[in-house]
Structure 1
Amino acid sequence: MAHYKKILIAVDLSDESDLVAQRARAVAEGGDNELHVIHVIEPLSFAYGVDIPMDFSGLQDEIQTQARQQLQRFGAKHGIDESHQHIVLGRPEVEIHAAAEEIEADLIVVGSHGRYGLALLMGSTANGVLHGAKRDVLAVRVGD
């Protein structure tokens, strides 16, 4: 079995992200590889629609600052070099695919809550990453 040289770990920075990173590290164990981590911040305009009568730029900047600090702590905890930590703004599934393409990842590791039925139809990041992936995707079961 060929082993993965570059692994992209997609996290939401919740407590469950630790399990996702642990599984990625287990896959990487014993190999000569690179671990990268990505956290995607959805712009507030996505949540509230395109025509927002208020300026959320200050709040968006604060969200990004907080996320950067959390990602640095997360990366340090899991031994991921700061140069391999990526924070981007956009739709998670789109940005995860773009980052995987950019770093030439062999594998994307993402957490999945194992939703089914209506929750799956409404969409999830893991489902979005899986569909249209040009590389292997490992969906790690997290949550209840």
Structure 2
Amino acid sequence: MSTYKKMLVAIDLTEEAPQVLNKATAMCSAQGAELLLVHIVEPVGYAYGGDIPMDLSELQDQLDKAAKEQLGKYGEEYGIPQVNQIVSVGRPESEIHRLANDHEVDLIIVGSHGRKGFQLLLGSTANGVLHGTECDVLAIRIR
């Protein structure tokens, strides 16, 4: 097995995030790797199909601020420097791919609920990250 030098862990800021962070930080420690902690905020317009003729920038700013605060708490708790904490806005799969390329990441770590059948067809971030990245991907089973 190859040694990883830089890992990216993408979390969704739910109560399940520590399950992924515990394993990601343990792997980083064992490998002596650098860890990037990432959360992607989907643009508010996506939720409404972009068809609402109103300015949603204030709401988007509030979501971004709340995400940065929560990510900062996880970063502090898990000893991840602020410079390695990234909140980005966009489609999760695309942004994770972009960040992995920009930061020359060896391994992407994401949580997975292990959905099957119809639920999987509706979309899984872990599945989307797996298909389309050039580096290894590790899906941590969320229970």
State the superposition RMSD in angstroms: 1.0
Deviation at 1:33, TM superposition (A): 1.6
Secondary structure of the residue aligned to 1:29 is: helix
- Corresponding residue number in structure 1 for 2:87: 87
| Superposition deviation, residue 29 in structure 1 | 2.4
Give the structure 1 partner of residue 116 of structure 2. Answer: 116
Match for residue 10 of structure 1?
Answer: 10
Alpha-carbon shift at residue 22 of structure 1 (Å): 1.0
Q: How far, CA to CA, are the matches of 1:142 and 1:31 in structure 2?
A: 22
Give the distance between the partners of 1:29 and 1:61, measured in 2 at CA.
34
1:64 aligns with 2:64: yes
Whole-angstrom distance in 2 between the partners of 1:30 and 1:67: 28
* Matching residue of 2:31: 31
Shift of 1:52: 1.4
Q: Return the TM-score normalized by structure 2.
A: 0.96
Aligned mates of 1:134, 1:16 — CA distance in 2: 27
- State the TM-score, normalized to the length of structure 1: 0.95
Aligned length: 143
1:17-76 CA deviation, whole Å, 9 max, x = no partner?
A: 111111112222233320001100001111101221221111111111111100100111
State the 1:126 CA deviation.
0.6
CA–CA distance in structure 2, aligned partners of residues 29 and 85 of structure 1: 17
Any idea what SS the aligned residue of 1:51 has? coil
- How far apart are the structure 2 equivalents of 1:75 and 1:121? 32
Post-superposition Cα deviations, 1:70-107, rounded to whole Å, max 9, x if no partner, equal 01001111111100000000000000010011110100
Return the alpha-carbon distance in structure 2 between the equivalents of residues 29 and 134 of structure 1: 23
Secondary structure of the structure 1 residue equivalent to 2:21: helix
CA distance in 1, matches of 2:21, 2:123: 22
The runs of at least 4 consecutive aligned structure 1 residues that moved more than 6 Å come to none
- Structure 2 SS opposite 1:30: helix
Gaps of 5+ in 2: none
Taking every aligned residue pair, what percent have the same amino acid on both sides?
50
> What secondary structure does 2:31 align onto?
coil
Letter in structure 2 aligned against 1:41:
V
